[in-house]
Amino acid sequence: MCGIAGLWVRAGAMPTPALSAAAEAMAATLWRRGPDSAGGWSDPQAGIALAHRRLAVVDLSEAGAQPMHSMCGRYVLSFNGEIYNHADLRRELDARAAHQWRGHSDTETLLALIAAEGLDKALERCVGAFALALWDRRDGVLRLARDRLGEKPLYYGWSAGLLLFASELKALRAVPGFANPVDPGVLGLYLRSNCVGAPWSILRDVYKVRPGHVVTLDAAALARAGGQGESRAFWSLAEVAARAALDIDADEAEARLEALLLDAVGQQVLADVPVGAFLSGGIDSSLITALMARVSSDRIKTFTIGFDHAGFDEAPHARAVAAHLGTDHTELYLGADQVRSEIPMLPEVYDEPFADSSQLPTLLVSRLARQSVTVALSGDAGDELFCGYNRYLVSQRTWQALRAVPTPLRGALAGGLGALSPQQWDRLGRMAPGGGVPMLGAKLGKLARMLRGPLDTRAIYRESSEEWSGALPLLDGRALASGVDQMVPVRTTSEEAMMQWDMTGYLTDDILVKVDRASMASSLEVRVPLLDHRVVELAWSLPLALKKRDGRGKWLLRRILSRHVPDALIDRPKAGFAVPVGAWLRHDLRDWAEDLLAPAALTASAPFDVAAIRTRWAQHCAGSHDWTGSLWGVLMYQAWARRWGASC
């Protein structure tokens, strides 16, 4: 992908050289997103400047350089992403009228489509992952847009009367005088989920463009110098989920889904640079790799990271799938010391607080892949689309039965689950037949918290996905409302309600942020075929029975994959992509964590409830509880605040 940045000031408020220099300084912080070239454009009379860092993937020539001007002269575009169907769109444009193309980049195609149809209609026609800043020279309007599912990031906000926008927060900090403090309400939101969901950012007066939205900012908005601007959707997951399910049998659904996935993968392997795939050996990545082998004439390059720790190493499974598919497989085993050595750089990579511990292996596998390819496909989103997470797999009948159990008895059952420590449950889990149950202690800990609650769908979801059950560890305890708080699911089943919450929140704000920042830190473009919006729309149109059957998720994906990979290579408990951070915090990382969690350090950075955090830290170190998620969230905030000098 690339990095975009820019600023808009009142005409004459900033000298011309300073305007251009500020935009260039912003873009310079994004050089890893675009190491191949840099570009800039400014209009001092309008007070606007756009900048760009380029990772050349399609049309490596200067004809693909940005910011790019439309042939009509009206629009200037700084674009991050890929339009996978741009060749088809270009042919349509040529069929309407003769076009004089400068090159064959998707950015040029998009600009021509915008000039012909307007931004909203153009985006509705595009299949892709993107974020963009479009300046309309005729109307003096800036538009910021983001792809339907939020694969690519885009921040914007205000500082000292300036409107700033960029792919990452660090670019805003490059503007002289930028010193926006932490928003305490957003900090509370972050602590609940270990990430910051759109439209918020951790900093006051700075926002994220919502997925599937266009934000319009005009001269009046610039004069107000605040607020989120006019934001409107060009695509809505809620509208997709509200459509009636198809009346379709399994064979037809399988045929339609596989054909669409083949088309999506076929579009996404096209590039003017080497392409590979992340392969964990799970259902989703194995399916994407198998389909790549179908549509590509070249041998597929695959990449896996292995860890020498029981319950966390999926490299042998990936190796077996790679051997079956005949890929050119690269596997790197890392010791704990090598992985832990990356922790100090996390606040640089994730320049907004972010605390999904799988950020570490994602960073490392991205670095490994970049040694051989510039683009990698991943299997993300299979869980959210096809009912894959453990919280979906407990049947409604089970929850209904548990609701009928008197609260004291449920409390006693929860207490019984706590009779063994998380480490003891993990040891028992490894002894279970069929490959064991990974991270059993953490899973049973979440179940115990659910049993103590009301057991309605929203409560079950929050207990299974949020890190601080009950009061937040803040002195005022307040948090801005999240998307889950505000969104009423349009489907009636608990599984589909949770899937919609995950698609809107966890996928966009956690999974895709993790993948984008980790890959871009290595100048690697990651593409996600399962998030082709046509695949998303088909998946939501399918009956739940084609996703979950006999207590297992991803039924239809499994059925497709079984024709490419033997079931024996795939059929095992879900492990996830993680590292043993909880164990490290008790031992090798204990001094590092103690420094960040010291009472003086906590008090200095935010209005933390020091006693609440220290209690969990003591319990975790003693091994009586597994508070990995909640403590990792505080630690990543503390490390981020220390690196960027941030405070409330």
Residues belonging to the active site? 2
Strand order across the beta sheet in which 128-136 lies: 68-69, 75-83, 128-136, 141-146, 213-217, 230-233
Instruction: Pull the structure tokens for residue 191.
Output: 């602590």
The closest of 633, 643, 621, 585 to 356, measured between CA atoms, is 633
The tokens for 523 are 């100048």
Q: Distances in Å between the alpha carbon of 154 and those of 78, 131, 165, 211? A: 12, 6, 7, 10
What amino acid is encoded at 219 in this protein? A
Which uninterrupted H or E stretch holds 159? Answer: strand 155-159
Handedness of CA 294, 295, 298, 300 (dihedral sign): negative
For residue 607, say if its preceding peptide bond is cis, omega within 30 degrees of 0: no
Say how many C-beta atoms besides its own lie within 10 A of residue 342's C-beta: 17
Identify the residue whose tokens are 């490894």.
430
CA-closest candidate to residue 320, choices 272, 366, 281, 378: 281
Question: How far is it, in rounded angstroms, from Cα 111 to Cα 18?
Answer: 28
CA distance 283 to 317: 11
Q: Tell me the C-alpha to C-alpha distance, in Å, between residue 560 and each of 325, 383, 539.
A: 15, 15, 14
Name which of 318, 388, 317, 391 is nearest 557 in CA terms: 388
Mind giving me the DSSP string for 60-125? -SGGG-SSEE-TTSSEEEEEEEEETTHHHHHHHHHHHS----S---HHHHHHHHHHHH-HHHHHHH
For 208, list phi and psi in degrees, rounded to 5.
-110, 140
Residue at token pair 């966009």: 508
